[in-house]
Structure 1
Amino acid sequence: MTTATAAPERVPSERQTRILDAAESVFARAGFHAATMQDVAAEAGMSPGNLYRYFASKDAIIAGMAERDRSLIAADFAELDPAKGSVLDQLEALGRRHLVEEPREKSIIALQIWAEAARNPVMAQMCAAIDGTLVGGLALAIAGAKANGELPANLDDARFLQAVFMMADGFFCRRATDPQFDPAMAAETLFKAMRGLAQVLLQPEAGSV
C-alpha cells in the first residue's frame, strides 16, 4: 500500500518546460515585477510572439510554474511506499531532492511568490494548492510511519506538521537570502530536528490536564 496523494496533472510540453525554466532564471535575477515577457523570451531563445502562443502573460507563466511544482511534489509523494523500506528515510531523500538538489533560484522564486501571496488572492490560491498537496502527502506518509512503528502512535500530527512547515519555510528563506548558506549541512540539521520533534510532540494522555 502506497502513501500516494492525488495523481499529478498534465505534464508541460517540452516547449512549455523550456519557457518555465527560462522564466525561473529571469524572475530569480530580476524579480517578477521588473522582468518582462521579452526578457523571458530572450532567455528561452524564442521570439516574444512565439512565447505568447504558450503563455498569455507573466501571471500565466507564474501559474504554470506553481502548477508544475505542485504536480512534481504530488508525483514524488506518490512514490513513497512502506514496502520500499523506512518511510522516514524516503521522506528525507524526497526533502533533500527539493531543499538541497534544486538550484538556489528555486528558493528565491518561492520567497517572491510568498511575498506576492500576502497581497494577491490569485497567488495565495496557488500557494494554498501547493500547501494542500504537501499536507496531504505528508499526512499519509506520517500515517504509514506510525503504522510501521517508525513514529509514535500518539504523535500529534497537526502540531508536528506545523513544525515541519515552519522549519522548511525558514530553510527556504535562509537559502534565498544568504549566498553563503550551506543547504546540505542545514538539511542534516533540519531532518535531525524533525525526528527529535516527532518524539516529543505527542497527544496528551487521556485524563491528563
Structure 2
Amino acid sequence: MLNPVGLPAPERAPSERQTRILDAAELVFARAGFHAATMQDVAAEAGMSPGNLYRYFANKDAIIAGMAERDRSQIAADFADLGPARGSVLDQLEALGRKHLVEEPREKAVICLQIWAEAARNPEMARMCAAIDGTVVGGLAVAIAGAKASGELPANLDDARFLQAIFMMADGFFCRRATDPSFDPAMMAETLFTAMRGLAQVLLLPEAEASSS
C-alpha cells in the first residue's frame, strides 16, 4: 500500500452517540450557520436533551473541532488505503475525489465554506483547516510519488504545481456546489477529473530542474 508515512494517524473513532451529534450539527450548521445555530438546535436535531448533549460536547467550538477531526481521520484512512495493487493511481484518486466531492451531501460543501470563512479570523479554525490540508497534501504526495515510480505519471512532473492545481480546482468545486443550487456535481466532476489527468501530463519541471532532481 502507499502508506502516507508521517501523516497524523486517525484518532479514536467517535462513539455512536457522538456520530449522531456530529451528523445533526452538520445539518443544523448548514441550515442556520455557525453563529445563528444554538446547542439547543443541535440537541433537537439529534433527538436528545441539551443536558445530554453537553455530556459529549462542551460547546459549538467543540462540535466543530469534532467535525473537522472526523473528516481529517476519514481522509487519512482513505489515502492509507491506496495502493498499486488496486490499479491506476489516477483512477484511485478520481474515485476518492468523487467520494468526497460528489457523493457527500451538499451540506458538507456548505459547512466547508463556513469553516474557511471562520478560519480567516479564528486561529483555532485556521489550525483545523491546516491539519486537514496537511493530511490531503501528504496523501497526494505519496500517491503521486508512487505513480511516478511506476511510470504512470511523468518522472519530471512538477509535484508542487500539480498539487496546487488540484487544490484550487477542488476548492472551486466546493464553492460552486455550496453556493449554486443548480450546480450538477456529477457532471462537473467529469470536467474536474479530465483536467486533473491533462495537467498531470503538462505541468512538467523545466529540463534543467528535472535533470538535477
**Taking structure 2 as the reference length, what is the TM-score of the superposition?**
0.95
Match of 1:140 among 135, 142, 151: 142
Cα distance, 1:6 vs structure 2: 4.1
Count of residues in correspondence between the two structures: 208
Quote the Cα distance in structure 2 between the aligned partners of 1:175 and 1:168: 11
Asked whether 1:73 is paired with 2:85, we answer no
User: 1:207 and 1:11, CA in 2 relative to 1: closer, same or farther beyond 3 A?
Assistant: closer
1:59-113 deviations in whole A, cap 9, x for unaligned? 0000000000000000000100011111110111010000000000000000000
Q: What is the match of residue 122 of structure 2? A: 120
Q: What is the match of residue 2 of structure 1? A: 2
| Paired residue type of 2:19 | T
Q: How does 1:116-195 map to 2 (within 5 A)?
A: 116-195=118-197
Q: How does 1:84-95 map to 2 (within 5 A)?
A: 84-95=86-97
Cα distance, 1:147 vs structure 2: 1.0
Quote the Cα distance in structure 2 between the aligned partners of 1:42 and 1:91: 38
SS in 1 for 2:166: helix
Cα distance, 1:117 vs structure 2: 0.2
Cα distance, 1:9 vs structure 2: 1.3
| Paired residue type of 1:194 | M
Match of 2:84 among 82, 85, 103: 82
| Paired residue type of 1:80 | L
Quick one: percent identity of the two aligned structures? 87
Quote the Cα distance in structure 1 between the aligned partners of 2:11 and 2:209: 46
User: 1:203 and 1:42, CA in 2 relative to 1: closer, same or farther beyond 3 A?
Assistant: same
**Taking structure 1 as the reference length, what is the TM-score of the superposition?**
0.97
Q: What is the match of residue 23 of structure 1? A: 25
| Paired residue type of 2:9 | A
Cα distance, 1:129 vs structure 2: 0.2
